[in-house]
Amino acid sequence: MRSLRASWKLARALGMVLSGLMTLAFVFPRLSAGEREARVQAWAERTLQVLGVGLEVRGVPAAQGPVLLVANHISWLDILVLHAARYCRFVSKADVRRWPLIGRLAEGAGTLFIERESRRDALRVVHHMAERLRAGDVLAVFPEGTTSNGIALLPFHANLLQAAISADVPAQPVALVFLDAASRQPTTRACYIGDDSLVGSLWRTLGGAPIVAVVHFGQPEAAQARDRRLWAEHLRERVDELRRI
């Protein structure tokens, strides 16, 4: 029964991916930037429903840009969850661009890609991020640089925060937590870490009991020429506090 339920969800999720690709190809060219953002957010909300993932938003997301969202990273679901809570443009590792189907969706949603091993590319992306922030965009980063188990936070890397400092725009801490829908206790079922394959993580999520993604937005913090490393440590503390509320 569990396998049947997971297979049905997977088929519907694939349908959402194909629908998203069709929208990118044939609908987006006719839409304004605001209309595109609304479409992405609505698509993310619907896809979470198809996957059987509930959404709970706490706090108040920034009503408009420019702002840099700074969140912890647990799962491949995180991007869907944040898009559903508040449209934003992500900064993601370049590998995602090469994922079948998903890479095209990420690119169409405005993702900025970075080659993490290349210092020169990192500088390029920080410069581009600062330009987009000055233009009023809402950007999102996962400063842990990789996924964690959701129980404890990894150290926050400071490099990408330089974009907010250079553009003198605020950063908003955002905590992501996945709960078992029945017990309301934190669960690692949605985690995508270590030797997990994307397919294995997807199947575990689809076949398991329902989960709820909690997105907790903290208060935005002004850049004010901060030291980026100290700011990264402070934002990590804020995200950790939000996770526990």
* Average pLDDT of the chain to the nearest whole number: 93
pTM to 2 decimal places = 0.94
CB-count exposure of residue 194 (10 Å: 0-12, 13-18, 19+):
exposed
Reported as a single tens digit per residue, the pLDDT across 71-128 is: 999 999 999 999 999 999 999 888 888 878 888 999 999 999 888 667 787 889 999 9
Q: Summarize pLDDT for 203-237 with one digit per residue, the tens.
A: 888 888 899 999 999 999 999 989 999 999 999 99
SS3 annotation, 45-71: HHHHHHHCEEEEEECCCCCCCCEEEEE
pLDDT at 63: 93
Can you tell me the distance from the alpha carbon of 59 to that of 81, in angstroms, rounded to the nearest whole number?
Answer: 15
> Strand, coil or helix: what is 89?
strand
Listed residue (77, 63, 114, 107) closest to 89, CA to CA: 107
**pLDDT for the residue numbered 1:** 65
CA 14/CA 111 separation, integer angstroms: 21
Inform me whether the pLDDT recorded for 6 exceeds 80: yes
176-194 average pLDDT score: 93
Q: Give me the domains of the chain, ranges plus CATH numbers.
A: 2-244 (3.40.1130)
DSSP sequence for 169-194? --EEEEEEEEEETTT--B--TT---T
Residues 78 and 71 sit within 8 Å (Cβ to Cβ)? yes
- In Å, how far from its chain's centre is CA 198? 16
What pLDDT score was predicted for residue 23? 96
Contact (Cβ atoms closer than 8 angstroms) between residue 141 and residue 68: yes
State mean pLDDT over 29-40. 96
